[in-house]
Amino acid sequence: MRISTLSILLIGALAMAGASVAQTPAPLTPADVSAIRALGASYSSTLGECRAEDYADLFVPGTGYFASGFRGRMVGREKLIALVKSERHCLAPAAAAPAPRPGGGNPPAVTLAATASGARGLTTLGAAEYQDEYAKTPGGWRFASRTVILTAEKAAGIEAADLLAIERLSGTKLGDFYEAGENGAQGRLLTSGVRVGVSGTEVTGRAFLKDGGYNDEVYEKVGPGEWRVKSSVHVP
């Protein structure tokens, strides 16, 4: 059976149209917007009140994470709980009420956009911003990720995707860094993976390793979301 050139072009056009429709994100409904904004308010209150388990429940189970330059990437329920418990305002004596965090009762406004996998959000905090990815789960909207980007980091070309790209440079060797506790005990979890720092336009990192050592590194951006290691010094 012969297929004409016109038929081939028509089939190709239909396939492209179908792919375009499949990739078009479904618009967010007013209920979606309300639920995502409520999620942000719950984030502020659970963190401000040191309710670690409730805080972890706000993220996609198993894969949801919080990330920042100093904290690295805290993935999964166990790490998210440890993150809250290690916050300075949560380390007060048990009888003392934690001091409220700025914005805890009145979370800042978030700008939302629908994506193929859910939604994306941007919240300006003044000297920093939240760059969020949300997913709709059977339990409602949850954070797929929440990344804090400081003004100095943004000026150096760092966005949420860049922190991920820098972390991937170390592969599966990455571990966690705990502050030393009393009498040799393990203290609070400070960083998981790579602690990224910025000095002017120079981007550096301390990659904490599973064997207890770390690599002090200098990074260079080679493209959108693409980085390389310019230099690395290993400390056992």
Digit-coded pLDDT (tens) for 42-51: 999 999 999 9
Give the model's pLDDT for residue 186: 72
pLDDT band of residue 131 (cuts 50, 70, 90) is: very high
How do strand 186-192 and strand 176-180 relate by DSSP bridges? antiparallel
CATH architecture of 26-235: Roll (3.10)
Neighbouring residues of 67: CB distance < 8 A, sequence distance ≥ 6: 73, 74, 145, 146, 147, 148, 160, 163, 164
Q: Which two tokens stand for residue 180?
A: 């030393």
pLDDT tens string 166-197: 999 999 999 999 998 766 667 899 999 999 99
Q: Are 182 and 218 in contact (CB under 8 A)?
A: no
> How many other C-beta atoms lie within 10 A of the C-beta of residue 218?
13
Helix, coil or strand: residue 134? strand
Amino acid (1-letter code) at residue 66: F
Please give the DSSP secondary-structure letter assigned to residue 59: B
Q: In angstroms, rounded to a whole number, what is the distance separating the alpha carbons of residues 214 and 236? A: 7
pLDDT in tens, 104-126: 456 789 999 999 999 999 999 98
Residue ranges of domains in the chain: 26-235
pTM of the model: 0.85
Query: What does the chain come to in residues?
Result: 236
